[in-house]
Structure 1
Amino acid sequence: MQRTGGELVLDSLKAAGVDTAFGIISVHNIPIFDAMAREAGVRLVPARTEHGAAAMADGFARATGRLAAVITSTGVGAANAAGPLLEAFSASSPLIHVTGQVDAAYLDEDRAFLHGAKDQLAMLDRVGKAGLRAASTEEIPSVMRRAIHLAWSGRPGPVSVEIPIDQQYRAIDAPAMEPIRRLEPVTPAARDVEHAAALIRQAKRPLIWAGGGTIAAGASDAIRKLAERIGAGVLTTASGRGSLPEDHPQCVGFFVVDAAAIELYQQSDLLLAVGTRFRGNETRNWQLPLPSPRIQVDVDLSLLGRNYPIDIGIGADARLTLLALLESVSDSPDPTWLTRVAEAGRAARARARATLGPYERVLDDLRTTLAREAIVVRDVTIPATTWGGRLLETYQPRTALYSATYAIGMGVGLAIGAAIGQPDRDVVLLAGDGGFVTALGELGTAAQERARLRVILFNDGGYGILRNLQDTHFDGRRFGVDLTTPDFLRLADSFGVWSGQIRSAVETAPVLKEALQQEGPALVEVDMQAVGPMAIPFTGSARLVPGRS
């Protein structure tokens, strides 16, 4: 059967179960888009920028747990996707990025071919899990298969494939594409499980630290059962939110650096860390006094013991490991310890609430208005970072998405991708004006696709966190933080998007309810100057400005 290179790319995506691709059409990828237009099976979501397209694919993958695809042009087009690819790598999102290249005869010659780039493959390799090249049409099926397996295997991540444009047009005789299936998860060694179980059986005051690997492995139910059986308190990373419902009495949540959590560390006699890297910002740059002995479970062997010494490292699938541990331990909860865990969770939440001022009402009305299964996406802004990332309770896996690199502007694409991947759920984006403006063109994508996205836009006229940092640490000198912003309500109207405004915290519930009734996207602007300041200005960690106090 004759198939062009573009058709072979499509065949590969379909063989892996991909049904949605995000991207921007170009003269260096048009054969792939043409194949998608002629043959059913993969929906195309045309974004406005490569940055937005890659972020959408990332959001789709995080919200669904499925492989996502993004297609960009070569050169600057591919470079525009580099930031979101790095974001997807940080978030461990399985993603396939297909990009073009110059004609095969001119590869690696840097002869100023249209859309050519200096060593594009090396750039793509550095910002993701791997960068591969299918130099000929014949190589496309095998390279795509390898890329998809790489994206899925071990710690998931984005893999890029570049294909010369002439090889996308070229047709060859090709057999029918065999299904591309995920590799079987890695089973833990019985000896490692028994050693870990022995430590757990000895513990009276255990803690579990649940990271994003817990959710990636589908291990949430297993972690709940194990926590309840051994009487463990559960702390989560930002990526691990939803591993255990945050209204569960044993869930302390994402308060890993709070004083109440530190007291637990000092009292605990065991830490079981599952699917986590112990990121610097979540451990005070590895200075938190985490309990010992420590057991670390991660599918990526290179992460075991990298940031904290461990007593036992299990390089295997998190779900299979937790299920094996469940079979090896018995019920042993200590009521006194569970009371301390619950008290620590309440104390941490109370401390955070005391900083919010009028935004406590915004928080509570948002939570009561949203369904438990709603997906909340956080860009980097004061409300999202302070209460959105900790106090706005999360109850299910894959319902708390955020910028893992803490770069502004990622949230817009993540939220659109999540809304397209989960069309029957409400998706809410918490964004600031500074970050939203960097990606506001993608509001057109949301409108065009009729995505069920509700943007809650906190407008403080600039970069609020940096403004507060300057006020606190730079004698009030403000530079580069006060921005001119558009009329967001009129902007939304120009795209045919419903909009509303909140100027007082008491207006939150009625405006949100109306936004949630819209069939397509909606935008709610929160006028932060009118609502008022937080009780305690948020300046982030003092480690953001080393050398100043």
Structure 2
Amino acid sequence: MTEKMTGGEAIVQSLLVHGVDTVFGIPGVQTYGFFDALHAVRDQIRLIHPRHEQATAYMAFGYAKSTGRHGVFSVVPGPGVLNASAAVCSAYGASAPVLCVTGQVPSDFIGSGKGHLHELPDQLATMRSITKWAARIDHPAEAPGVMAEAFRQMSTGRPRPVAVEMPWEVFGMAAPVETPGTPAAYAQIAPDPDQLEQAARLLKHARNPMIMVGSGAQHAHEEVRALAELLQAPVVSWRGGRGIVPDDHYLGFTCAAGFQRWAHTDVLIGIGSRLELQWFRWPDPPANLKIVNIDIDPTQMSRIKPAVPVVGDAQAATRGLIAAVLNDGTPRASRRLEFEEIKTRVDAAITRIQPHLGYLQAIRQVLPRDGFFVEEICQAGFTSYFGFPVHTPRSFVTCGHQGTLGFGYSTSLGVKAGNPDKAVVSISGDGGFMFGVQELATAVQHRLNVVSIVFNNGAFGNVLRDQQQRFDGRSIGAELSNPDFVKLAESFGMPGYRVGTPARLRQVLERALADDGPALIEVEVERAAEVSPWEFLMPPSQRAQKA
């Protein structure tokens, strides 16, 4: 069935058909037609408009990572796209299904180089360099097909950001458009049964298997846990895989605990993971280590070169591997006592990473088990990789290997938009928080009730430490002059608090979460008292090699 609609309306109809309920965006002259179409369906799609274009993409990222659904944002072309690009890079690196809807100069000016408003030399090429797929919609009638392909790209294979652009005048152009129908179910790559059988035979003789998980296994958490219990294998997560197996389960290992088993590992099973710990952060692998790699991305196999490559969806492949192991194996005795002893020993060792471990423990004591914790690049954030217990899938939100400073607070607002009934806590250093400080206004205006905890040590702490240690005590560009964060929060219309001990943080955080409104808590940190967490993130020999 065809219906006359504008280009903007055609895009919005496709969003509705694909189940989108939230768009993060800032309107501009090139995209007025899109936002006017959103106004017509404002009872079905909520628009959240932040105060910086970068935040639109971070919020879509947080929404996608915490819900498993598509995150959608819209910015103007040219500088708008470039402002959002850091967040798009994060989404690409962390495998998040994020859709960018942007404009373009009028059709007659594309590629002309005349300097039309917001013109880039080749915006489509720019977007294709940081997304999985990008396309232009040159006429309203093309919108349903192009949008369907955008959602297919996000929903099949490795989830990553995609982008669509539409010329300025096409957003408002009316034409007959084929009404988009309900999308069909997307078929994923099916794992090869022979490879699963080969993996099962390898595991049959494994004495100390280890499972390493990343964000690609979040939806397969039940299967991963069943496989781990069948093999009595510790499940180690670095960042993206946190919470797949709860940290209070005897098989749920942080990177710090997992390292204690690394030298004894004979078969490593990677599931939806880059295996960064294996190839980058931990010392040379144990002798005769064999790798079984389960990943939806075929290119992962050429990077890791596993003994058994299994290309396929993590859930289906892990389920198939369980069946193959059951057919070709015998039950294994529980290693609960052995593994609990390792975890207890590591928990005791990491207590020296103060003051941040104490603050993280205070947060964990207050945050509900299914509450969301959004990390940030700071000393407390690094410590959280191993020092903050995570108990549920998707509840630890990280920017992954891009390490984008300033990602945390904006992303947490997207997490809250996607999970309005769950508690959300964001942690940041003072340096990173100031990258997105303007989004305090967004939190208040849209009632995004995130509690932001800002650790204030008056510096880009990691940079300052590295400069002092590596350059004979010299430092440059690392020390910061900050506002009064409490007064700053209050000026935006939210309560601000200042604390100096973990006990006080626990008390104030409990109150802030109970109040169920946006809030900011400043944690005063004595810079000289901070203990570096890096010994538990990368062993000393590796740090020297990678520095």
Q: 1:282 to 1:49 in 2, by over 3 A?
A: farther
One-letter code of the match for 2:239?
A
Query: 1:135: how far off?
Result: 2.0
CA RMSD, Structure 1 to Structure 2 (Å): 2.1
- For 1:333, the aligned partner's letter is R
Partner of 1:149: 152
The 3-state SS of whatever aligns with 2:452 is: strand
Which aligned pairs between 1:115-514 and structure 2 lie closer than 5 A? 115-215=118-218, 218-255=219-256, 261-279=258-276, 283-284=279-280, 287-289=283-285, 292-307=289-304, 309-330=305-326, 332-335=331-334, 338-356=336-354, 358-386=355-383, 388-404=384-400, 405-514=402-511
Paired with 1:412 and 1:222, the residues of 2 have a C-alpha distance of 32
Amino acid at match of 1:311: A
Stretch of structure 1 that moved more, 284-293 or 79-88: 284-293
2:453 aligned partner, one-letter code: I
1:243/1:449 Cα in 2 relative to 1: closer, same or farther (>3 Å)? same
For 1:443 and 1:122, locate their aligned partners in 2 and report how far apart those are by CA, in whole Å: 34
Partner residue in 1 for 2:10: 8
Contact 1:450-1:519 at 8 Å conserved across structures: no
Cα distance in structure 2, aligned partners of 1:142 and 1:227: 42
Question: Relative to structure 1, is the Cα distance of residues 59 and 548 closer, same or farther in structure 2, using a 3 angstrom cutoff?
Answer: closer
Q: 1:376 and 1:195 mapped to 2: Cα distance?
A: 38
**C-alpha distance in 1 between matches for 2:416 and 2:437:** 16
Quote the offset at 1:538 in angstroms.
Answer: 5.7
Question: Which residue matches 1:56?
Answer: 59
Distance 1:182 1:27, change over 3 A: farther
How many angstroms apart in 2 are the aligned matches of 1:319 and 1:327?
A: 13
Quickly say closer, same or farther: Cα 1:459–1:263, change in 2 above 3 A: closer
* TM-score under structure 1 length normalisation: 0.93
Distance 1:536 1:17 in 2: 44
Q: What are the Cα deviations for residues 192-215 of structure 1, in whole angstroms up to 9, with x where unaligned? A: 111111222222321111111101
Sequence identity of aligned pairs in percent? 30
- Tell me by how many angstroms 1:328 deviates: 2.2
| Structure 1: 5+ residue stretches without partners | none
Q: Distance in 2 between matches of 1:196 and 1:364?
A: 39
CA contact (8 A) 2:496 2:520 kept: yes
- 8 Å Cα contact 2:90-2:399 kept in structure 1: yes
Say if 2:140 and 2:177, in contact at 8 Å, map to a contact too: no
Match of 1:230, as an amino acid? L
Q: Which amino acid aligns with 1:95?
A: V
Q: State how many pairs are aligned.
A: 537
Q: Compared with structure 1, are the counterparts of its residues 12 and 401 closer, same or farther at alpha carbon in structure 2 (3 Å cutoff)? A: same
Q: 1-side partners of 2:387 and 2:466: how far apart? A: 22
| Contact kept in structure 2, 1:378 and 1:431, CA below 8 Å | yes
- In structure 2, what is the Cα distance between the partners aligned to 1:545 and 1:296? 26
How big is each residue's C-alpha offset from its partner over 1:28-67, in whole Å with a ceiling of 9 and x where there is no partner? 1111110111224211010111100000000000010001
State the alpha-carbon separation in 2 of the partners of residues 282 and 237 from structure 1. Answer: 10
User: CA 1:266 to 1:519, structure 2 compared with 1: closer, same or farther past 3 Å?
Assistant: closer
Give, in whole Å, the separation in 1 of the partners of 2:442 and 2:469: 39
Distance 2:82 2:362 in 1: 41
In structure 2, relative to structure 1, the CA distance for the partners of 1:302 and 1:359 (3 Å cut) is closer
SS of the residue corresponding to residue 482 of structure 1 reads coil
| Rounded Cα–Cα distance in structure 1 between residues aligned with 2:157 and 2:339 | 33
Q: Distance in 1 between matches of 2:376 and 2:532?
A: 21
Aligned pair in 2 of structure 1 residues 332, 303: CA closer, same or farther (>3 Å)? same
Question: Deviating runs (4+, > 4 A) in structure 1?
Answer: 535-549
CA distance in 1, matches of 2:332, 2:261: 16
- Contact 1:271–1:295 under 8 Å retained in 2: yes
The structure-2 alpha-carbon separation of the partners of 1:507 and 1:205, relative to structure 1 and needing over 3 Å to count, comes to same
Aligned mates of 1:119, 1:451 — CA distance in 2? 36
Which residue of 1 is the match for residue 29 of structure 2?
Answer: 27
Match of 1:84 in 2: 87
Contact 1:262 1:289 in 2 (8 A): no
Task: Find the partner of 2:44 among 32, 41, 46.
Answer: 41
Structure 1 position 332, deviation (Å): 2.6
Contact map agreement 1:261 1:344 (CA 8 A) in 2: no
Return 5+ residue gaps in structure 2 as ranges. Answer: none
- 2:76 corresponds to: 73
